[in-house]
Structure 1
Amino acid sequence: TPLSVKDEPTVQWPTEEGAYYTFIMTDPDAGARAEFKHWHVVDIPGNDLSAGETLAHFMGSAPPAADAPHRYVFLVYKQPSGRLNHSETPSPKEGFDGRPYFKVREFAKKYNLGEPYAGNIYLAKGDAHSAQIRAGWGIPA
């Protein structure tokens, strides 16, 4: 449920010495042909997200109650040439700027990240907690 995944999770993956990684959490079920970026960090040394550059701070799951369960996907890409020379504007810590309609596949292609290095997924169905969160965001429950 969204309540059980409201806090930023601890994530880990196998690492290679000296490598940098990109981590993305997305909801591919956010709307018709739309992804919603919940978390995005680049230039991560090993799997220490706090040492990377945050492009979007963690935002918990809050699918609408009427929707089928949403998939929340964690993807890790090994950056092929060390640090990314990117032109992305970080999303503000609060709010939605830069989050809706994000396309993981296009980001990976733009920066030649190749196929995901690691990943995971969970499902969440809207509940009373997600309705509270959505009300705070000013969007329909």
Structure 2
Amino acid sequence: MTFTVSSSSFKDGDYLALTHAGSADHGFGCNGGNKSPHLKWSPGPAGTKSFAVTCYDPDAPTGSGFWHWLVVNIPPDVTELALGAGSPGGALPKGALQTRTDYGFAGYGGPCPPEGDHPHRYLFTVFAVNEVLGVREDTPAAQIGFNLHFKTLAKASIMGLFKR
């Protein structure tokens, strides 16, 4: 079985719209709409107990990349997140939990690379997980990544680009 992810908000390798970029509320000088993109994935393999979604920028000038979004414990019967689901006022599935990003808060924080820098890659990855993770809203991204490393049955990614 192949595990896949797609989006009606952007195609793999395309530029993300300003709608999805970070807002002025986050600092860094961006003025986007900060709406998380729509994501849809195939059902998970046998043994899937939850899904997780992350957005990661490996090109951020930090030495360790930048985590823009982490959602865990999405129920195993859910295979889609609506446009804006991770943004303030968005509707995540019951039981799903957003955890702390590198912006310092839980919830979607859109792209905002340094002005004039090369296009950054934003990797939206969906993980089929073999358990419901015992984490909290303030759990750091590195701990979420550690858990996912050992508890993932399958994963799929789609990449968007953004440049200012």
TM-score above 0.5, yes or no: yes
Say if 2:40 is the partner of 1:12. yes
Does 2:43 align with 1:28?
no
Percent of paired sites with the same residue: 27
Matched residues in 2 for 1:75 and 1:110: separation?
A: 15
Query: 1:116 and 1:32, CA in 2 relative to 1: closer, same or farther beyond 3 A?
Result: farther
Partner of 1:113: 151
Residues 83-106 of structure 1 show CA distances to partners (whole Å, capped at 9, x for unaligned) of: 11236625xxxxxxx5xxx55xx6
State the partner residue of 1:122. 160
- Deviation string for 1:53-95 (max 9, x for gaps)? 11131111111122111010111111112x11236625xxxxx
CA distance in 2: counterparts of 1:110 and 1:43, whole angstroms: 12
Q: Does 1:85 align with 2:134?
A: yes
Q: Distance in 2 between matches of 1:110 and 1:77?
A: 11
Once the two structures are superposed, what CA deviation does each residue of 1:95-132 show, in whole Å capped at 9, x if it has no partner?
xxx5xxx55xx644334134751110011111xxxxxx
For structure 2, the 5+ residue unaligned runs are 1-15, 22-34, 82-91, 100-105
Query: Structure 1's 32 and 108: CA in aligned 2 closer, same or farther, altered over 3 A?
Result: closer
Q: Give unpaired runs (5+ residues) of structure 1.
A: 91-97, 127-141
Runs of 4+ in 1 over 3 A off after TM superposition: 16-19, 106-111
Shift in alpha-carbon separation, 1:30–1:116, aligned structure 2, 3 A: farther
Q: Please state how far the C-alpha of 1:36 moved relative to its aligned partner.
A: 1.1
Does the C-alpha gap of structure 1 residues 59 and 8 become closer, same or farther in structure 2, counting only changes over 3 Å? Answer: same
- TM-score by length of structure 2 reads 0.58
CA drift at 1:32: 4.2
Q: Any idea what SS the aligned residue of 1:34 has?
A: coil
Distance in 2 of aligned mates of 1:24 and 1:31: 19
Aligned length: 113
* Counterpart AA for 2:115: A
Verify the 8 A CA contact 1:26 1:35 in the aligned structure 2.
Answer: yes
Report the CA distance shift for 1:122/1:115 in structure 2 as closer, same or farther (over 3 A). farther
- TM-score, structure 1 length as denominator? 0.66
Question: Are 1:67 and 2:117 an aligned pair?
Answer: yes
Conserved? CA contact 1:2–1:62, under 8 Å: no
The root-mean-square deviation of aligned C-alpha atoms, in Å, is 2.6
- Residue number among 18, 21, 34 corresponding to 1:3 in the alignment: 18
